[in-house]
Amino acid sequence: QLTTGQPNVCIVGAGPAGFYTAQQILKGNPNAVVDIYEKLPVPFGLVRYGVAPDHPEVKNVINTFTQTASKDRCTFIGNVTIGKDISIADLQKAYSAVVLSYGADNDRLLGVPGENLKNVISARSFVGWYNGLPQDIDLQVNLDVEKAVIIGHGNVALDVARILLMPIDLLKKTDISQHSLDALSKSRIKEVIVIGRRGPLQVAFTIKELREMIRLPDCKPVLSQADFIGVDKLIQDLPRPRRRLTELMYKTCMEPTDKDVKLWKTAQKSWSLSFCMSPLEIFGDKDVTGLKLGINKLQGEDLVKQSAILTDQTVDMSCGLVLRSIGYKSIVIDPDIPFDTKSGTIPNKDSRVEGKPGMYCTGWVSTGPVGVILTTMNQAFETGKTVVKDINDGILDLTKPGKSDIFNILNSKGVQTVSFKDWENIDQFEVKQGEDVGKPREKMVDISQMVSVAKK
Ligand code: FAD
């Protein structure tokens, strides 16, 4: 009788995908027990370590996650790296269902010569650096330069541009990590060029982030009129969010208001969007000094989906910092997880991992790094429903013992786990540290310090 008993479900990764899946399973099955494993001593994934410090409202989802974690049938088990401290095989032995939601921790490379030069940095590491992600706090970024190039036209690119150009007095009031605040306050950067391989109709950032860039104090947007000629005629036919976004770019470039023009006249800094360019080479001796960019033409019937084709024209551009923001990708954390190295995701059908009964995946590890928290939430809810359905359909083995076996292994290895109550000690400590300097929180950046504060 494998189908009667208690459904013990484990989730790997305490980001939005993990928490929303847990929420749905707990709601959908009154007997299910859900354990969430997280490699860091702190929960919430990219909500803590990705979302920009000046977007505190986005982090309100943490309240919902906290409610989920506070339920009797839910246990947060932090400071445990699956694939290192505990294997997937161990989890499969202990749990009726294993849900993988460990995100996309790695970044994509440009694959061009010069990518290893100093001050060519991945946006992922830069974001980790300013958000206090322990693995990135020692990032060597030289801001004693005037011009930065960001490669990529997504929201992360604009987040990074905004942080580089934002007045320090505004940044000071956020939960940005102190080491990066210190470095940014000495920054000489006054020009940021955001480069994309396609045109204005294909950008991947959204209107909120664009609007914030346009309204950045003391900073002028520079858009080339040549890129927008004729765009007004196409706007009407675009789907609504794309139409509004394109309209805003068009107006900023072609029809700025008198107020804007007056404001931008005195601006000390600037940022620009460059279109239809792909990096071919990054120059420099030790430090980066510039790039060679190939000029692209666009091809394809559907305007919004047009693709970039490299021409033989090139242009050289000087700069002292290059940030690569062309997407995140997942890694294989354990050889027992099927993985598609090309797409950087776990192959699955409706969240069920192909060829692995009882194994599920959700969030960025299953879709790739696309969409916002809301997208992740909708998908994770569906994953939760799928797990509940499989429990109810008698597909899963409900005689598995759950976390007791795992704790035996962790104890034998001397791994110190962090519970949700322990995390609340860290949380309170950080908020207190922040209060002292007028910030909503000062994040701890040292894992052993986090663990010791957690256990107080
Ligand atoms: P993640 O949030 O990455 O969570 C994965 C978790 O798994 C992490 O906690 C990680 O530590 C853990 N993990 C990894 N490996 C292991 C392992 N081996 N063992 C145990 N645990 C492991 N969306 C918005 O709506 N608004 C925004 O303003 C916004 N800003 C963003 C800014 C940046 C820079 C980025 C990258 C994304 C942003 N997003 C934003 C998107 C949003 O963060 C994602 O949609 C969402 O976080 C994806 O959730 P996830 O759970 O799949 O991944």
Task: Determine the pLDDT at residue 1.
Answer: 58
The residue-averaged pLDDT of 343-354 equals 96
Task: Determine the pLDDT at residue 456.
Answer: 84
Q: Which helix (H) or strand (E) holds 75?
A: strand 74-78
Q: How far is the CA of 373 from the centre of ligand 1 (A)?
A: 9
Segments forming the whole domain that contains residue 100: 8-105+329-418
Residue 77 Cα to chain centre, angstroms: 22
* Complex ipTM: 0.99
CATH of the domain at 177: 3.50.50.60
Q: Say whether both 122 and 59 belong to one domain.
A: no
- Identify the domain boundary among 326, 354, 380: 326
Tokens of 442: 């000062």
pLDDT band (50, 70, 90) for residue 82: very high
Q: Say whether both 177 and 131 belong to one domain.
A: yes
CA dihedral 234, 235, 240, 246 (to 10 degrees): 120
Question: Helix, strand, coil: what percent of the chain each, to 5?
Answer: 40, 20, 40
Residue whose CA is at the smallest distance from ligand 1 atom 41? 372
Q: Which of 161-175, 299-313, 375-389 has the lowest mean pLDDT?
A: 299-313
Residue 444 lies in a domain: no
Q: How far is the CA of 372 from the centre of ligand 1 (A)?
A: 10
How many angstroms separate the Cα of 51 from the Cα of each of 61, 154, 378, 379?
A: 12, 13, 19, 19
Residue 450 lies in a domain: no
Residue 429 lies in a domain: no
Q: Say whether both 98 and 135 belong to one domain.
A: no
How many angstroms separate the Cα of 32 from the Cα of each of 9, 35, 38?
A: 7, 10, 19
How far apart (Å, rounded) are the C-alpha atoms in residues 176 and 81? 26
Q: Say whether both 166 and 139 belong to one domain.
A: yes
Task: Determine the pLDDT at residue 4.
Answer: 75
Residue 443 lies in a domain: no
Task: Determine the pLDDT at residue 2.
Answer: 66
Residue 158 lies in a domain: yes
Strand order in the sheet with 321-324: 120-122, 321-324, 147-151, 191-195, 269-274, 219-222
The chain-wide mean pLDDT, for the chain, equals 96
Residue whose CA is at the smallest distance from ligand 1 atom 39? 372
Q: Say whether both 371 and 274 belong to one domain.
A: no
- Identify the domain boundary among 305, 326, 347: 326
Q: Are 92 and 3 in contact (CB under 8 A)?
A: no
pLDDT band (50, 70, 90) for residue 139: very high
Task: Determine the pLDDT at residue 303.
Answer: 85
Residue 448 phi/psi, 5-degree rounding, is -70, -35
Task: Determine the pLDDT at residue 302.
Answer: 87
The residue-averaged pLDDT of 222-241 equals 93
Q: Which residue matches tokens 């990054």?
A: 282
Residue 433 lies in a domain: no
Nearest to 359, CA basis, from 397, 393, 408, 329: 397
pLDDT digits (tens, 9 = 90+) for 233-280: 999 999 999 999 999 999 999 999 999 999 899 999 999 999 999 999
Determine the atom of ligand 1 nearest the C-alpha atom of 40: 11
pLDDT digits (tens, 9 = 90+) for 281-295: 999 998 999 999 999
CA dihedral 58, 59, 62, 64 (to 10 degrees): -20
Is 88 a residue whose pLDDT tops 80? yes
Q: Say whether both 72 and 140 belong to one domain.
A: no
3-class DSSP assignment, residue 289: strand
3-class DSSP assignment, residue 413: helix
- DSSP class of 132: T
Q: Say whether both 38 and 164 belong to one domain.
A: no
Q: Say whether both 118 and 100 belong to one domain.
A: no
In a mutational test of the pocket of ligand 1, which residue from 102, 174, 361, 367 has the highest number of ligand atoms less than 8 Å from its CB? 102
Angle in degrees, 0-180, between the axes of helices 373-392 and 16-28, rounded to the nearest 10: 40
Tally of domains within the chain: 2
Tokens of 21: 């899946």
Report DSSP letters for 172-198, one per residue: TTS---HHHHHHHHT----EEEEE-SS
Q: Say whether both 15 and 141 belong to one domain.
A: no
Determine the atom of ligand 1 nearest the C-alpha atom of 156: 34
How far apart (Å, rounded) are the C-alpha atoms in residues 33 and 10? 8
The residue-averaged pLDDT of 65-69 equals 98
Residue 451 lies in a domain: no
Nearest to 104, CA basis, from 368, 444, 456: 368
- Identify the domain boundary among 326, 357, 390: 326
Q: Are 328 and 104 in contact (CB under 8 A)?
A: yes
pLDDT digits (tens, 9 = 90+) for 25-47: 999 999 999 999 999 999 999 99
Residue whose CA is at the smallest distance from ligand 1 atom 15? 102
Amino acid at 154: G
Q: How far is the CA of 130 from the centre of ligand 1 (A)?
A: 16
Q: Say whether both 203 and 238 belong to one domain.
A: yes
Pairing of strands 352-353, 348-349: antiparallel
Q: Which helix (H) or strand (E) holds 332?
A: none
Q: Which residues contact 199 (CB under 8 A, 6 or more apart)?
A: 227, 275, 276, 298, 306
Q: Say whether both 353 and 236 belong to one domain.
A: no
CATH of the domain at 101: 3.40.50.720
Residue 342 lies in a domain: yes
Is 318 a residue whose pLDDT tops 90? yes
Determine whether 437 is exposed, middle or buried from the number of CB atoms within 10 Å of its CB (0-12, 13-18, 19+): exposed
Q: Say whether both 227 and 247 belong to one domain.
A: yes
In a mutational test of the pocket of ligand 1, which residue from 348, 373, 379, 415 has the highest number of ligand atoms less than 8 Å from its CB? 373
Tokens of 334: 């354990």
How far apart (Å, rounded) are the C-alpha atoms in residues 206 and 212? 10
Nearest to 13, CA basis, from 414, 361, 410: 361
Buried b (16+ CB within 10 A) or exposed e, 24-53: bbbebbeebbbbbbbbbbbbbbbbbbbbbb
